[in-house]
Structure 1
Amino acid sequence: MTTVVELGIPADRLGLARTFDRASGFEFQVGGMIGGSPPLVWTSGSDRDSVRRALEADPSVDVIASVADDTGKSSTDDGTAFSQRDRWLFRLEFGDGVKLFEQIVTENDGAILTARGRESQWAVKLLFHDRESVSACHDLLEQYEFGADVTRISGVNDLASARTPLTETQYETIHKAHELGYFDVPRGVTLKELAAELDVSHQALSERLRRSHAALVSAELTDRTAPMEIDP
């Protein structure tokens, strides 16, 4: 049964601990971690310069680029207006803590749905196909001393209730594509090879990937209007 696991992990085990210490009121939200490339990360704090300097001095991340701002009343790409704290978008390369965490999750057939942080604590939401994978992943997290605190475990009959826009078929497609390196640079598998692995036509797979990407992008743009806080 599909299982969603929510974890709290100290920043000194995953990353950004020094940024939390140096940037007053620092919070972040990772825009997505599919494909292994440096993710986009929304940040907030007392001011942009303090956040940028703290990130640049933090040994657990490399600042690849400063991408964009959300200041005062803004709008999403679909035209919806909103008003919230100023936020600044960076592309960050995370260090060994996050990379090991991602490896443990993916090798146990899991996926990272969301990752946010505030007050020196990460809140991550993971998706697994079964409880056995959850148990194996948790054992490894304990073995590597991540200090993970399970805040919620829930079984779902469909992925909508897990707050992910993907259907079961779309999730399985994205998961297999990620597992085989389709999103890597260079790609570890071609679209034709991936279609053969999933036993679908080239055209059907292409359409399925486009719909999956559209669903993920739409959900991310919508999620940008939500306050950055750890789920209860």
Structure 2
Amino acid sequence: MTTVVELEIPAAQFGLSETFERVPTFEFRIGGMIGDAPPLVWVSGADRAAVESALEDDASVEVIARLTDAGGGRWLYRLAFGQTVKLFQQLVSENAGAILEASGRDGTWSLTLLFHDREALSVAHGLFERYEFGATVTRVATMDGACGEGSPLTKTQYETVVTAYELGYFDVPRKVTLKELAAELDVSHQALSERLRRSHAALVNAELSSRMAPTEIDP
């Protein structure tokens, strides 16, 4: 049964703690952390120069590119995170999971993870404890399948996400490319990219809207 879990991790245990300390108003949001490419990160704060200076000096992250100024104190960067975050990504992907969303404020990371089943989640949770990430689970939700009441995914979307898991598309590094996955599913590269994007958006929207009933975790 597909399972979504929300958890919080202190920045001191994970990354960006120096930036949070220097810029108390600093916040960030990542739409998803899939594969090993540095993600796009929306950041905000009271002053862009202060945020950039803090990021440049923070040993847990590397600024790859400065991309967009969206106005209103929000800027888009491509950031490469350190070994702690990479280890966390690896543990998630090795247990049939994916990071749907990550954000941070007030010195704390908030992450939304998707796992193929509850057993995979339990194994990953045990590894989070073993490596002392300091993760606190705040919510767990299950989806009964594509046709189940309350599921945000269509049957096609659900089957696509499951196939992507099974073939290692969400692994770090990926075991199958988007082109190879598209061939397996007999759809075009562009159609598959759009389907995965819509699936991801549906899952995140469902979590933010609290449409899936929470359940207790059994680590």
TM-score, normalised relative to structure 2: 0.79
Query: Residue 168 of structure 1 aligns with which residue?
Result: 158
Gap runs ≥5 in structure 1? 73-85, 227-232
Aligned to 2:179: 191
Structure 1 residue 8 corresponds to structure 2 residue 8: yes
Q: Kindly report the root-mean-square deviation, in angstroms, between the aligned alpha carbons of the 2 structures.
A: 3.1
**1:76 maps to which residue?**
none
* Map 1:40-59 → 2, pairs under 5 A: 40-59=40-59
Whether the 8 Å CA contact 2:63–2:78 is kept in 1: the answer is yes
Could you say which residue in structure 1 is the equivalent of 2:39?
A: 39
Classify the secondary structure of the residue corresponding to 1:21. helix
For structure 2, the 5+ residue unaligned runs are 209-219
Q: Is the 8 A contact 1:4 1:162 kept in 2?
A: no
For the 8 Å contact 2:6–2:112, the answer to whether it is kept is yes
Q: Does 1:95 align with 2:82?
A: yes
Q: Are 1:178 and 2:169 counterparts?
A: yes
Cα separation, 2, equivalents of 1:162 and 1:36:
29
Query: Given that residues 169 and 177 in structure 2 are in contact (C-alpha distance below 8 angstroms), is that contact kept between their aligned partners in structure 1?
Result: no
Aligned partners of 1:8 and 1:148 also within 8 Å: yes
Q: Distance in 2 between matches of 1:164 and 1:13?
A: 34
The equivalent of 1:75 in structure 2 is none
| Amino acid corresponding to residue 74 of structure 2 in structure 1 | R
Q: Which residue of 138, 155, 161 maps to 1:151? A: 138
Are 1:215 and 2:198 matched, yes or no? yes
Matched-pair contact (CA < 8 Å) for 2:33–2:98? no
Which residue type is aligned with residue 211 of structure 1?
E
Aligned equivalent of 2:17: 17
Check the 8 A contact 1:158/1:167 in 2, yes or no: no
The count of residues paired between Structure 1 and Structure 2 equals 201
**Contact 1:23–1:45 (CA<8 Å) still a contact in 2?**
yes
Q: Distance in 1 between matches of 2:125 and 2:83?
A: 18
Cα drift, residue 190 of structure 1: 8.0
Matched-pair contact (CA < 8 Å) for 1:9–1:122: yes
CA deviations over 1:25-62 (Å, ceiling 9, x no partner): 11100132122101010011111001000000000000
Q: Give the CA deviation at 1:195.
A: 6.0
Matching residue within 114, 118, 121 for 1:127: 114
Tell me which amino acid in the other structure corresponds to 2:94. Answer: E
Which has the higher mean CA deviation after the structures are superposed, 114-123 or 168-177? 168-177
Amino acid at match of 1:172: V
- What letter corresponds to residue 35 of structure 1 in structure 2? G
Contact 1:115 1:124 in 2 (8 A): yes
Deviation at 1:20, TM superposition (A): 0.3
For 1:81, the equivalent position in structure 2 comes to none
For residues 122-171 of structure 1, the C-alpha deviation after alignment (integer angstroms, 9 at most, x for no partner) is 00011112111011000000000000000011112357967789921221
C-alpha deviation, 1:212, in angstroms? 2.2
Q: Residue 167 of structure 1 aligns to a residue in which SS?
A: helix
Is the 1:113–1:127 Cα contact (8 Å) retained in structure 2? yes
TM-score normalised by L of structure 1: 0.75
